[in-house]
Amino acid sequence: MTTYRTERDTMGEMQVPADALYGASTARAVDNFPVAHEPVPAPVIHAFGYLKAACAQANLELGKLDKKLAEAIIAASNDVAAGKYDEHFPVDIYQTGSGTSTNMNANEVIANLANERLGFGRGAKGQKGAVHPNDHVNMGQSSNDTFPAAMHIAAAVMLKERMLPALTRFAEELAKKEKQWDHLVKIGRTHLMDATPIRVGQVFSGYAAQAHYATVRGGRAMVRLAENMPIGGTAVGTGINTHPEFAKRVCASLSKTLDLSFKEALNHPEAQAAKDSFVEAHGELKTIAVSLSKIANDIRWLGSGPRCGIFELLLPETQPGSSIMPGKVNPVIAESMIQVACRVFGNDTVVTTAGFGGIGSIFELNVAMPVMIDAFIESVKLIGNVADVFTDKLLTGLQVNEERCRTLIDQSLMMVTSLAPVLGYETCAKLAKQAFKENKTIRQLVSEQNLVPAAELEKLLDPDGMTRPG
């Protein structure tokens, strides 16, 4: 049976579970927002831990906060940052658009943890010498600058630690395939129709370049978020009730702790009233998702078959593909990546509309921040996870069906392209149509009609040579 303690906030008394580290404000928010029944993502809570520790450190350095209280707040905040108390952050994603309830959740948890270190019990905020969630943990801050600052921290850290390493591995594995298969030639395709030959290594060089550009885009997103920190703007971007050096010191502390270059926003009204930097950063994620979907879709098509498809690539067999068709194996890993791309595209709509003037960004504050960061973090997590899965379960075991590649090249009517400079475009077009009608290869037809000397024809129709102009 759950037991409760009675606490008060500015609106009156609230019953709080006796073992909860949060207080009345959080309990009220839990009652008010039973919407998704999903709390704000853990990376945001951990970011609040890092942020509150940095704020306490800055206030200590500036002589605003007693050393004993500051040290207790910093220690408690570090425990929150380490994820030790995630279960004490129950406020729903779909809450107040400024994230005030989560900021107060952090203030209350950290205050109670700090007070326990100081020898007080939970709910001791009104006692002499105790840490107060607003007066001490939230000193020099507002929900309006702390929640967006935590968003920036959480997103930048996840980009650095979760997504970028996975994309780097993904790009490196594709680059290995580029070198490994550069001597193999396959038929190219445009408009889903046969085209001229291309080396398999060249195809994978394109994929590797896309993956490399994805890491560049992810890095740009990380830098953009880290360099536009809203902390220090307090209520409406003016910095009321905080020290002029506060934000600079907080960013310096965070940079040292997280090994990222956090910088105070150049313009605080912009950083709080608009979340354009998040819209921009997620735009990079959307572009990355487009790249991943292209690579995954190409590979699953090139592996289609095994008898009635293209089948130039041999995909690793990871699991049975059908509950009714025995022996069927599907490109499930590629399909997983494509589905992630679909989700990221949807999340981009969420982030865009949450940042859109008249919906999220209104006057001096964006009021759709919790859903924005939830969508952003999901995109980062999914891209990082699926890139690792694709690398480990598909790319490392991927092979080229060399015999199939040779067969399709020999049959391709577009081999006639290399003869156009010798025979002319119109003659070659007629040859292609005749070869198709008579079910012959271009080599057969040209040889039969003695249109080009045998030695020259051999050189002109060399598939590898056709991929190396000049």
> Is 25 annotated as catalytic?
no
138 DSSP 8-state letter: T
Q: C-alpha angle 457/459/460, rounded to 5°?
A: 65
Among 323, 325, 327, 302, residue whose Cα is nearest residue 312: 302
Between CA 232 and CA 253 the distance in angstroms is 14
- Residue located via tokens 């930048």: 156
Q: Which residues pair with 313 in a beta bridge?
A: 400
Between CA 229 and CA 261 the distance in angstroms is 10
What are the residues whose beta carbons fall under 8 Å from the beta carbon of 63, sequence distance 6 or more? none
> Is 322 annotated as catalytic?
yes
Q: Which of 46, 98, 191, 323 is catalytic?
A: 191
Between CA 131 and CA 264 the distance in angstroms is 27
Q: Which residues pair with 6 in a beta bridge?
A: 15
Reported as type and span, the H/E element at residue 15 is strand 12-17
Per-residue tokens: 79: 């425990």
Reported as type and span, the H/E element at residue 191 is none
Per-residue tokens: 354: 């949450």
- Residue located via tokens 């919407």: 35
CA distances (Å), origin 451, targets 30, 326, 417, 433: 83, 50, 14, 16
Q: Which of 322, 336, 379, 412 is catalytic?
A: 322
Q: Answer whether 31's CB lies under 8 Å from 135's CB.
A: no
Among 26, 23, 21, residue whose Cα is nearest residue 7: 23
What are the residues whose beta carbons fall under 8 Å from the beta carbon of 266, sequence distance 6 or more? 228
Q: Which residues are designated catalytic?
A: 191, 322
